[in-house]
């Protein structure tokens, strides 16, 4: 089943391991990105200058190259973004990052496999019965190996051999698969010279590319008879081969694998492979199985309850593994549709309740890009980007069916080719916007920010021209559209009017809403000082009374400034304490008048002022009683003491304390007499009936009381009525008739 390796060659191989050739360490150097066919982007390298980004489309460029088709077809991408692709038109191309052809190399037959890029500067590719090593820089042939005679740099005899499996490269050896006659073969060649190290014949033909274990010591490959092989990578000896089975089929009958695709090997050496299986050699089902490094089966998909979902289906290409412990795999269904499945690598359970369905079969391996997103195409020419949760990120229609595995370049550009004879190689780029924002972010100000158009690897999409729309939440932002981008970035002023917390900015490409990006939440603080308020704005006080005042600074949009502002207080009369801070207490002076309390808000070199008006007035004296009514004796009556009233007065002093006027108080009356005019409590006697005012003056304060003096009532006439039975009397007060009284006599 295998050709022996001469002992001397083994010695040379082992001796040369220190300087052995391997896959290039960055970019996407082979089918599935690495020798394990994990299909996961490994960022690295520095791309050359990008092509211009067409707004509204993910297509950076397309290059007509005759199309790709086959379960191991695909692209290899170098560390500087150069793409290497072997086409159905029998040509190996090197295409630069701007879509320009760097060189082309003629192959002897149409190619159906992805090339591999070594860290020795060689590109390895197979077509028909010949396998080639070509200089990556120049496109010059370094050597060729003929499958039908095992010779290097000699013409082949055309015996029907065909390279079908994309190469793997490790430890100075390049591995690939081919079909010759009715059998499949695994070849191992010296990567530097092309000399054959060994070959292994499979039980059946194959459509599988080889995959290596993480350490490179074991090579795995599947064949069209349903066998999975584990070979020693050094000498090609068989470690084991098995026909895995779907456990759900085995539970109800005899189960056999009938065709296995390219396997993928996980970080712990577990193998994952899709294929076709038969129940009782009659009913076909598609499925996925996982085995451990010793060949023991770990799990299979589907489970019994979901078995009918894969009736007549196939999984013709390799799965892609994610860093989060999942795998993606494409499916072609019995009804002519397709799907992308996401399964747990630990137990094979679906991660999504429903596979992401497509209208056409999915015949190629997916690729894993930014944050676990899956890129894949279907035979209708639709190309998809699906999130790890199974939702569509974006979709684009290409010119014809996609039957090759996409590659992800060092800058996140996705490369994929279509399969028609007139098909093209496409470079697709998804823009993700990121932000550089100042912290803190001031409101009501023109604030300079930068919006970056990044690729999934975090590098700049240099050709993106913009503009992008801008939105803010929960507060709006102006302007709503950026200017043009230069070098993958736009820097310009924006304004958010209202201070808030948890604000986010979102940039979106107007022509392709899937290209978007949101900033991390940030706090919008009040902007620069513009005004200050004082409360209250006016007050009326007595001498010595106090009033509390408070101040608040604001920006130009009315946002309260809570930090970074100091306050200074002053008054044109009276005192303020404290003289700094957001509040103070004003104490009125002893002198009545109108005074101003001023607060000054200070923020760096900015100041703002506000004022309050305080009216200080003397409290009037309170004369007690404030009014009195006195009776003046009758002029013709008996002598009696004249009516009189004693008065006192009080005042309100500092702190609101009430005091009695002292003996120095001055008293006056509008008429009549006072018992004393400089005393604390004089007695007032009116001169007769009338209204009078008694006034007290003390320490500049004045108070008054009113006195109403009335004359006593007297009978001015009494006479008998017309009859002897009545008596009439008239009463007069102060000369005025006030009442007539009538008595009835009995």
Q: In whole numbers, what is the pLDDT of the chain averaged over residues?
A: 85
Query: Position of tokens 């604030």?
Result: 447
* pLDDT on residue 100: 92
For the residues of 119-165, what is the DSSP string, one character each? TTSEEEEEETTEEEEEETTT--EEEEEETTT--BSS-----S-EEEE
Q: What is the pLDDT of residue 152?
A: 92
pLDDT at 248: 78
User: Per mean pLDDT, which range of 2-16, 153-167, 257-271, 532-546 is the poorest?
Assistant: 2-16
Section 80-84 average pLDDT: 88
Q: How many residues does the chain have?
A: 746
Q: What is the mean pLDDT of residues 516-529?
A: 92
Average pLDDT value for residue range 395-420: 86
For the record, the structure tokens of 377 come out as 């195409």
Would you call 511 helix, strand, or coil by DSSP?
coil
Residue 603 has pLDDT above 80, yes or no: yes
Q: Is the peptide bond before 440 cis (omega within 30 degrees of 0)?
A: yes
Cis amide bond preceding 96, omega within 30:
no
Distances, alpha carbon 663 to alpha carbons 626, 646, 682, 699, 700, in Å: 19, 15, 10, 12, 15
- For the cut 80, the answer to whether the pLDDT of residue 729 exceeds it is no
**Going by DSSP bridges, is the β-strand pair 255-260/238-242 parallel, antiparallel, or unpaired?**
unpaired
In angstroms, the CA 337 to CA 378 distance is 9
> Quick one: average pLDDT of 652-660?
72
Give the C-alpha distances (Å, rounded to integers) separating 140 from 71, 105, 110. 27, 7, 19
The band of 393, judged by pLDDT with boundaries at 50, 70 and 90, is confident
Q: Which residues contact 9 (CB under 8 A, 6 or more apart)?
A: 197
Q: Which residue has the higher pLDDT, 412 or 458?
A: 412
pLDDT for res 637: 43
pLDDT at 586: 96
Buried (b) or exposed (e) across 23-37, using 16+ Cβ within 10 A?
bbebbbbbbbbbbbb
Q: What is the pLDDT of residues 526-579, one digit of tens each?
A: 999 999 999 999 998 877 889 999 999 999 999 999 999 999 999 999 999 999
pLDDT for residue 448: 95
* % of the chain at pLDDT higher than 70: 86
Tokens of 53: 């980004």
DSSP code at position 14: H
Query: In the predicted model, what is the mean pLDDT of residues 54-59?
Result: 62
Which of 112-126, 370-384, 696-710, 720-734 has the lowest average pLDDT?
720-734
Rounded-to-integer distance, Cα 744 and Cα 720, Å: 10
> What's the pLDDT tens digit per position in 156-181?
877 789 999 999 999 999 999 999 98
**Cα dihedral sign for 681, 687, 689, 692?**
negative
Mean pLDDT over 216-227 rounds to: 94
> Which strand ranges, in their side-by-side order, compose the sheet holding 141-146?
116-117, 122-127, 130-135, 141-146
Tokens of 504: 């986010």
Residue 12: per-residue pLDDT: 37
Residue listed under structure tokens 């397709």 = 338
CB count in 10 Å sphere of residue 492: 15
The pLDDT of residue 598 is: 97
> Are the C-beta atoms of 329 and 340 separated by less than 8 Å?
yes
- Residue 377: predicted pLDDT: 92
Higher per-residue confidence, 411 vs 502: 502
634, pLDDT greater than 70: no
pLDDT in tens, 451-486: 998 876 566 777 778 899 999 999 999 999 999 998
Pick from 5-9, 142-146, 722-726: least confident: 5-9
Bridge partners (DSSP) of residue 299 are 290
- DSSP, collapsed to helix, strand or coil, labels residue 530 as strand
Cα distance between residue 693 and residue 701, in whole Å:
16
Q: Name the residue among 479, 480, 484, 522 with its Cα closest to residue 503.
A: 522
**Which of 72, 4, 111 lies closest to 222, judged by CA?**
72
pLDDT band at 442 (very low <50, low <70, confident <90, very high): very high
Q: What is the phi/psi pair of residue 117, to 5°?
A: -110, 120
Per-residue pLDDT at 631: 84
Instruction: Enumerate residues 6+ apart whose C-beta is below 8 A from 344.
Output: 325, 326, 350, 351
**pLDDT at residue 653, as a whole number:** 65
Structure confidence at residue 565 (pLDDT): 95
Give yes or no for residue 50 having a pLDDT over 80: no
pLDDT digits (tens, 9 = 90+) for 135-148: 999 999 999 999 98
User: Of 234, 196, 241, whose CA–CA distance to 218 is shortest?
Assistant: 234
Pairing between β-strand 441-442 and β-strand 522-525 as defined by DSSP bridges? parallel
**Residue 221 main-chain phi, psi, to 5 deg:** -155, 150
pLDDT score, position 43:
45
399 touches 371 (CB < 8 A) = no
Strands annotated E in 476-574: 489-494, 500-509, 512-518, 522-525, 529-535, 538-542, 546-555, 566-571
């Amino acid at each position: 089943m295998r050709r022996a390796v001469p002992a001397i060659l083994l010695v040379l191989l082992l001796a040369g391991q220190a300087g052995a050739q391997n896959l290039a360490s960055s970019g996407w150097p082979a089918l599935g990105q690495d020798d394990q066919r994990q299909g996961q982007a490994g960022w690295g390298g520095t791309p050359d200058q990008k092509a211009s980004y067409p707004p509204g489309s993910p297509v950076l460029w397309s290059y007509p190259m005759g199309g790709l088709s086959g379960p191991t077809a695909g692209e290899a991408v170098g560390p500087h973004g150069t793409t290497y692709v072997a086409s159905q038109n029998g040509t190996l191309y090197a295409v630069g990052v701007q879509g320009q052809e760097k060189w082309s190399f003629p192959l002897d037959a149409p190619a159906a496999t992805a090339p591999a890029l070594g860290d020795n500067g060689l590109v390895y590719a197979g077509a028909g019965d010949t396998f080639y090593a070509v200089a990556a820089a120049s496109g010059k042939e370094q050597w060729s190996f003929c499958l039908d005679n095992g010779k290097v740099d000699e013409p082949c005899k055309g015996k029907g051999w065909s390279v079908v499996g994309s190469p793997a490269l490790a430890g100075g050896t390049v591995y690939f698969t081919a079909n010759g006659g009715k059998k499949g073969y695994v070849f191992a060649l010296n990567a530097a010279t092309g000399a054959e190290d060994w070959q292994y014949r499979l039980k059946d033909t194959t459509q599988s590319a080889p995959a290596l274990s993480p350490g490179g010591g074991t090579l795995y490959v599947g064949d069209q008879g349903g066998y999975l092989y584990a070979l020693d990578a050094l000498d090609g000896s068989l470690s084991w081969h098995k026909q895995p089975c779907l456990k759900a089929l085995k539970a109800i009958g005899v189960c056999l694998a009938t065709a296995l695709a390219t396997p993928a090997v996980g970080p712990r050496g577990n193998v994952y492979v899709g294929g076709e299986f038969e129940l009782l050699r009659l009913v076909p089902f598609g499925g996925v199985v996982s085995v451990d490094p010793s060949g023991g089966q770990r799990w299979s998909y589907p489970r019994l309850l979901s078995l009918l979902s894969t009736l007549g289906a196939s999984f013709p290409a390799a799965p892609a593994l994610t860093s989060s412990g999942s795998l993606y795999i494409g499916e072609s269904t019995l009804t002519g549709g397709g799907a992308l499945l996401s399964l747990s690598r630990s137990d094979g359970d679906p991660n999504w309740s429903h596979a992401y369905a497509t209208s056409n079969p999915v015949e190629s391996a997916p690729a894993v890009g930014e944050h676990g997103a899956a890129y894949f195409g279907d035979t209708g020419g639709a190309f998809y980007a699906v999130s790890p949760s199974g939702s569509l990120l974006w979709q684009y229609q290409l010119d014809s069916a996609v039957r090759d595995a996409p590659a992800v370049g060092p800058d996140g550009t996705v490369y994929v080719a279509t399969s028609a004879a007139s098909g093209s190689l496409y470079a697709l780029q998804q823009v993700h916007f990121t932000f550089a924002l100042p912290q803190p972010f001031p409101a009501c100000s023109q604030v300079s920010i930068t919006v970056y158009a990044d690729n999934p690897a975090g590098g700049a999409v240099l050709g993106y021209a913009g503009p992008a729309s801008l939105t803010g939440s929960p507060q709006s932002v102006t302007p709503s559209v950026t200017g043009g981008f230069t070098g993958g970035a736009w820097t310009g002023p924006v304004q958010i009017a209202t201070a808030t917390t948890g604000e986010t900015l979102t940039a979106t490409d107007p022509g392709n809403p899937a290209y978007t990006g949101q900033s991390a939440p940030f706090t919008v603080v009040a902007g620069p000082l513009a005004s200050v308020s004082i409360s209250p704005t006016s007050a009326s006080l007595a001498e010595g009374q106090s009033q509390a005042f408070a101040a608040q600074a604001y920006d130009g949009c009315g946002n309260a400034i809570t930090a970074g502002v100091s306050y200074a207080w002053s008054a044109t009369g009276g005192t303020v304490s404290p003289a700094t801070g957001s509040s103070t207490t004003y104490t009125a002076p002893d002198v009545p008048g109108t005074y101003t309390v001023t607060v000054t808000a200070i923020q760096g070199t900015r100041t703002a002022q506000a004022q309050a008006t305080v009216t200080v007035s003397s409290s009037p004296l309170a004369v007690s009683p404030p009014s009195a009514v006195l009776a003046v004796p009758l002029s013709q009556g008996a002598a009696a003491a004249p009516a009189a009233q004693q008065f006192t007065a009080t005042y309100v002093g500092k702190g609101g304390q009430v005091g009695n006027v002292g003996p120095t108080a001055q008293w006056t009356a509008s008429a009549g007499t006072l018992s004393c005019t400089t005393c604390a409590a004089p007695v007032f006697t009116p001169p007769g009936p009338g209204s009078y005012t008694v006034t007290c003056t003390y320490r500049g304060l004045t108070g008054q009381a009113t006195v109403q003096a009335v004359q006593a009532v007297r009978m001015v006439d009494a006479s008998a009525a017309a009859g002897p039975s009545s008596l009439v009397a008239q009463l007069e007060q102060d000369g005025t008739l006030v009442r007539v009284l009538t008595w009835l006599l009995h």
